[in-house]
Amino acid sequence: MNSNDNIASFRRRDYVKITLLGFAVTALWQSLHSIILPVRLLDFVLEAQKNTYLGLMTLTGLLLAMLYQPLVGAISDRSASHWGRRRPFVLAGGLASVLLIPGIGLAGGFVALFVVYCLLQLTSNTAQGPFQAFIPDMVLPQKRGMASGVRALLEITGGVIFVVVSSLFIDRYFAGEGSRWLWMILGILAVVLAGAVIYTVTAVKDPPFYHLRQRPSLLRTLAHTAGHITANRSMLWFLISRLLVYMAFTTIQQFALYFLQDVIGVADPAGATAQFMVFAVVGMLLAVWPAGYLCDKIGRRPISFAAGLLGAGGIALIDLTKEFGPMLWAAGLIGMAMGAFNSANWALATDLVPKGEEARYLGIANMATAGGGALARAIGPAIDFFNRRGPDAGYDMLLIVCIAYFVAGALLVLKVKGGYARTSPLSVSDPGHPERPV
């Protein structure tokens, strides 16, 4: 079969099949990080320490994810299971996550909540690391921008729908109307995740496994990977750029509820956070598909660069106005920035990974995502520290830091070499990565 036949045989619905799990995973984590955990935490810690505890708990969990995902990705790449290299991990990690979700409601103190959260990070990444290799496994380079756009679109949609739904239930829980509201949203998230896992493992077939005559040990493989990345300047700049941009976005997202409560003074912080997220997601939806299309035409770097600058502009608008109305429009700008960045930057990641090692290297790319999220949480104690020294001084510091993250990330992506475009020397035919029905 020639390359044109491969392209024709990969149907539009196949893009959804190989990325649908991202809808459920993002729905879970956006709901937990933006709505459920900030409110649940107030059951166990003092109001004056909420930023510190939230930051330290999520920092620890995301550091675990950052270190664990490349490891499980490497194991997946080396798997010789007759069921495929990816699906066994998706099934095991996904169903284990479903079983752990009720622990968020069962936790009777901060320590128990902390342990459940960290275990959930490990099980979720057991599924997510191998799952995200479906795009480079199955999609030709000149179509990966489109595939990354579909992936981002589903993740954005899952995030916004369930942030809104979570806020409706958690508002009632926060108002003291009973724990049943917490249990209802946790149950909904568990059902959605279970459905997505079962669909993925039954609808998607792993591509053929290419056996190697000799395989180095896992530790030697990981050591070789670290050496390769250290020597590859483009990969290093890519990782640092991605880390900074995600630090900016996650910082404003993670502390939005407390910012709206303490600085803007809204009466309904969970509802206001949901509105903020809705505007951000509308911006993402407007940008994600055009960005995926354009980055296949003109390259990944220009779109990523423009997205970083747009994100900085959105944060600057929040800093200048500090009013709820303009903050919603700023959320839309930030959402457009992250929608464009998600599409273009993930497409760039799939271009940079070596053949046969997709899950491991994309796990390393997601180290930057998780690392950015983890380091974003580390600012929590600094917010509380500066707030004690001046009215809202900690939140002012947060906004300035986010602007710096976005600008630095935008500039560094220009140092990355590579990224498919029609003017690229890459061949449009890649028999090692056939597009085919799944």
Of the pLDDT bands very low, low, confident and very high (cuts 50, 70, 90), residue 217 is low
pLDDT digit string, tens, across residues 338-355: 989 988 887 887 777 666
What whole-number distance in Å separates Cα of residue 330 and Cα of residue 341? 16
Side-chain-side CA neighbours of residue 173 (13 Å): 25
Q: Give Dmax (Cα) for the chain.
A: 68
Residue of 391 and 5 predicted with greater confidence: 391
* pLDDT of amino acid 176: 82
Q: CATH 1.10.357.10: does it fit domain 13-207+230-413?
A: no
Side-chain-side CA neighbours of residue 33 (13 Å): 31
Query: What letters, b where the CB count within 10 A reaches 16 and e where it falls short, cover 132-170?
Result: bbbbbbbbbbbbbbbbbbbbbbbbbbbbbbbbbbbbebb
* pLDDT of amino acid 435: 45
Closest CA to 9 of 430, 433, 436, 432: 436
What mean pLDDT is predicted for residues 12-27?
87
Say which amino acid occupies 23.
Answer: F
What mean pLDDT is predicted for residues 67-72?
82
Say which amino acid occupies 187.
Answer: G
* pLDDT of amino acid 330: 94
For the chain, which residues make up each domain, given as ranges?
Answer: 13-207+230-413
Residue of 328 and 297 predicted with greater confidence: 328
What mean pLDDT is predicted for residues 367-380?
74
Closest CA to 369 of 121, 137, 145: 121
Residue of 306 and 62 predicted with greater confidence: 306
Which three-class secondary structure state does DSSP give residue 415? coil
DSSP state of 354: P
Is the whole-model pTM more than 0.75?
Answer: no
418: left (phi over 0), alpha (psi -120 to 50) or beta: left
* pLDDT of amino acid 19: 87
| Alpha-carbon radius of gyration of the chain | 21
**Is residue 184 scored above 80 in pLDDT?**
yes
